[in-house]
Structure 1
Amino acid sequence: MKGIHLITNGKITKADLEQLGSFHHYFDYIHVREKTKSAAELLEVLDIIWETGIPLSKIIVNDRVDLAVMRDCAGVQLAYHSPPVNLVRERFPDIKIGKSVHSAAEARKAEADGADFVLYGHIYHSNSKQGVNPRGLKNLQDVAQTTSIPVIGVGGIKPDQVKEVLDTGANGVAMISSVWEAAEPIQVAKAYYDRFNHWKEEQHEKTV
C-alpha cells in the first residue's frame, strides 16, 4: 500500500469523479471518504468510479467494510469509530486494511491487530484541521521507525514537501484539498507523481 494516496474531500460529485478518470493514473490508491453519504449513495459513487474507468482495485473505502467487500475494492480505511482492525481481519482475511493513527503507540497496535498500513497525520497545517497544531516530521519519523508496515503521511503536504516526508521513513503521501481545491488538479496531481518518483529514483541510485 505504498505510494501516493488521494482522499476524497467529503463532497465529491459525479463531475469530480469523471474528471478524476482523466488523471487517476497519477495515484496508487484513491480513498472514498464521504462521511455524510448513505450506503446507497456510496455504492453509487463506486459505480461511477468503475464506469469512469478507474479500477476498483485501487479504491479504498473509508469505514464501510461491507461496501468495500461487496464491490471488490482494494481495501478499507478504519478510524477510531470504525470496527476494530482485528475483527475485520478475522472476518475478511483477504482485504487490505488501513488504520488512521495519531501516535507511534497506535501504529504499533494497528500492526499487531493485523493492519496492512497506517495513515498518520496531520503533518503540516491543513485546511481540514483548522486550529489544530500539526504533528510534524519528527513524530512521523517516530511512527515510521516503530512499525514494519507502510506508513502514509497525510495533512497539508505540498508537492515540494514530498521528499522531506519520505525522508522520515514514511512509505507514501496522501492529500485531499491540495488536489480537489486546485485550479488545475491534473497539474497538481502530476507534480506529486513527479516528486514521488524522483525520490524513488534517488533511493535506487544510492543502492547501486
Structure 2
Amino acid sequence: MPTYPCTHELHLVTTGRQELEDVAAILRDCPVAMIDVLHIREKHRSARELIRWYRTLKPLLPHTAVLLNDRLDAALAVQADGVQLGGGSLSPDEARALAPQGMRIGRSVHTPEEAVEAARGGADFVLYGHVYESGSKPGLAGRGLEALTRAVQASPIPVIAIGGIRPERAEEVLATGAAGVAVLSGVFLHEKPGAQIELFRQAIDRTKPLQLPRRGFL
C-alpha cells in the first residue's frame, strides 16, 4: 500500500464580509511569509471586482500562492496562481483543459467520494469541511475528525481541512494526515489577526508531517 507525504500548509480564506481595503490593511500588518495560500472567496463580487482584489493583494504576498474561488475566467485574466472550484463551478477536468500549465486547481468537497472524484478529474488538492461547527455554517454540526480521517485516507491528493479550526485544534486536525488547515474568520475577523497567524504557524510547524497509508481511489 503506497504512502503519500503530507506537506502542512496554512491557507487563509477571505470572509466575503469585508471590503478589499480592510483585507489589504490586515495583510499589510501581518507576517505574510507564514501564509502558504490565500483564497479570494468573494462569491457576491463580479469578475472585474475579483481581478481588482487579486491585483491589489498579490503584491502584498510575494511568497504566497493566491487563488481565486469559483471564477476561472478571472483567474485566467490575471494569470492567478490557482483557482478553487466549488460544487457549482467547472469540474477539475474542465478547468484543467483551460488552465495554463502550473496553475494550481483545488476543489471543495464534503465526502471521501467527492475527494476521489476531484482527484480523478485532475485537482491538485481538496478543501474538506466543515470539520467543526463554524460561524460560516450556522446551525450545522461539524463533520468531525473521524470523517476527516476517512477523507484523508481515501484521497490520493492532499486534503486541506476547513471549518471552525482554531490554533489549539490544529495539531489534532493534522494528526489525521491532513495536509494543512484553512481559516476564514479565525484570522480575518479576529481582533489580532497577525498574532493568530503566528499561533497557527507554530502549531502547524510543531506537527510532524505523516506518511499515512492511503487506499487511494475508492
> 1:57 touches 1:73 (CA, 8 Å); kept in 2?
no
Question: 1:80 matched to which residue of 2?
Answer: 87
Q: Spell out the pairing of 1:165-180 with structure 2 (5 A cutoff).
A: 165-180=173-188
- SS of corresponding position for 1:165: helix
Deviation at 1:57, TM superposition (A): 5.7
Deviation at 1:71, TM superposition (A): 1.6
Q: Which amino acid in structure 2 is aligned with residue 166 of structure 1?
A: L
Relative CO higher for 1 or 2, CA cutoff 8 Å, sep ≥ 6? 2
- Counterpart CA distance in 1 for 2:64 and 2:170 is 25
Aligned partner of 1:126 among 134, 138, 142: 134
Question: 1:61 matched to which residue of 2?
Answer: 68
Deviation at 1:44, TM superposition (A): 1.2
Deviation at 1:12, TM superposition (A): 3.0
* Identity level (%): 37
- Counterpart CA distance in 2 for 1:113 and 1:48 is 31
> 1:56 touches 1:72 (CA, 8 Å); kept in 2?
no
TM-score normalized with structure 2 length: 0.87
> 2:161 touches 2:178 (CA, 8 Å); kept in 1?
yes
- Counterpart CA distance in 2 for 1:130 and 1:113 is 31
The alpha-carbon distance between structure 1 residues 77 and 2, as it changes in their structure 2 partners (threshold 3 A), is farther
Output one character per residue of 1:25-50: Cα deviation in whole Å (capped at 9) or x when no partner.
Answer: 22100000001111111111112113
Q: Spell out the pairing of 1:178-197 with structure 2 (5 A cutoff).
A: 178-197=186-205
> 2:47 touches 2:73 (CA, 8 Å); kept in 1?
no
Deviation at 1:21, TM superposition (A): 2.8
Aligned residues: 202
Aligned partner of 2:114 among 103, 106, 115: 106
- Counterpart CA distance in 2 for 1:32 and 1:88 is 17
Q: Does 1:7 align with 2:13?
A: yes
Q: Which amino acid in structure 1 is aligned with residue 26 of structure 2?
A: Q
Q: Extract structure 1 runs of 4+ deviating beyond 4 A.
A: none
Q: Which amino acid in structure 1 is aligned with residue 9 of structure 2?
A: G
- Counterpart CA distance in 2 for 1:138 and 1:203 is 17
> 1:107 touches 1:118 (CA, 8 Å); kept in 2?
yes
Deviation at 1:120, TM superposition (A): 0.3
Structure with the higher helix share, 1 or 2: 1
Output one character per residue of 1:73-129: Cα deviation in whole Å (capped at 9) or x when no partner.
Answer: 221000111011111112225221100000000000000010000000000010000
Q: Spell out the pairing of 1:9-158 with structure 2 (5 A cutoff).
A: 9-13=15-19, 14-23=21-30, 24-51=32-59, 53-55=60-62, 58-92=65-99, 94=101, 95-158=103-166
TM-score normalized with structure 1 length: 0.91
Q: Which amino acid in structure 1 is aligned with residue 146 of structure 2?
A: K
Question: 2:206 matched to which residue of 1?
Answer: 198
The alpha-carbon distance between structure 1 residues 113 and 203, as it changes in their structure 2 partners (threshold 3 A), is closer
Question: Structure 2: which 5+ residue stretches go unaligned?
Answer: 1-6, 212-218
Q: Give the superposed CA RMSD.
A: 1.8
Q: Which amino acid in structure 2 is aligned with residue 79 of structure 1?
A: G
